[in-house]
Amino acid sequence: MIPGETPIWLAALAGGAAMTAMVAARYFLTSGVFAFATQRRRPGLYAGLGVQIAREIRWSMLAALIYGAPTGLIIWGWRHHGWTQIYSDWSAHSLWYLPLSVFLYLVVQDSWFYWSHRAMHRPRLFRLAHAVHHASRPPTVWTAMSFHPIEAASGAIVIPILVFFVPIHIAMLGVVLIVASVMGVTNHMGWEIFPRWLVHSRLGGWLITASHHERHHEEYRCNYGLYFRFWDRVCGTDRGLSLRIVADAEAHRRSAQGVRA
């Protein structure tokens, strides 16, 4: 715990170091869990990708610093100086606002990601920054945070800005971060972890999972969203699901049915 009377430069340094370590730990935990699941469910999927994965981890550690540095200072400012709209008293707002705040944060984050991501595909920005992410061919569970510092910074500013304007309970902020971590990893893992009944349902038609995001990595000029397909649909950039992942999921389902029979 960093005392409130700590000079702001020292609080930024200490808090940033602590949060960077936490972001890195979250990355290794989340990606590690899904890497284990991939090895069990799709053995050999990442065969021969050791050099690529090592590169992804290096870029991700740099991104962890960019995500963690401002967050540490903001958390210190919230706890000791009331800088933000984060709250810890469950009665500060109505209970119905708890899930609404999570949804608001995800919608804003998704909207910013769509437009900034689409901008990253302009030739100059792509060569300068976004090419780092697309160097992962195919993407793996370790790709989710593999960003050039410019792209990492563009994504790192969203939640730190939101907490100054949109009230959110500290536990609900944790939910937002969990959703971001899990979806970031599962969207890049190269196979579909979510059930067929969800992916191919009406609800699934508005959500982004690996089946949808993989097509972005296959064709580049489509499927730019993060959580929801709203902007892709409105802007005509939604090209549906990856045929490879859909076929893989169907083959795996039939194989599992054959084993049970």
pLDDT score recorded for residue 259: 63
pLDDT at site 261: 54
Mean pLDDT on 4-26: 91
pTM over 0.85: yes
The 10s digit of each residue's pLDDT in 149-204 is 999 999 999 999 999 999 999 999 999 999 999 999 999 999 999 999 999 999 99
- Buried-exposed string 213-234: b where 16+ CB fall within 10 A, e elsewhere: bbbbbbeeebbbbbbbbebbee
pLDDT for the residue 131: 98
- pLDDT for position 22: 95
State the Cα–Cα distance between residues 216 and 242, nearest whole angstrom. 8
Average pLDDT for 30-50: 96
**DSSP letters along 41-96, please?**
HSTTTTTT-HHHHHHHHHHHHHHHHHHHHHHHHHHHHHHHH--SSEE--TTSS-TT
31-41: average pLDDT: 97
Give the pLDDT of residue 111: 98
- Mean pLDDT, rounded, for 95-105: 98
**Amino acid residing at 3:** P
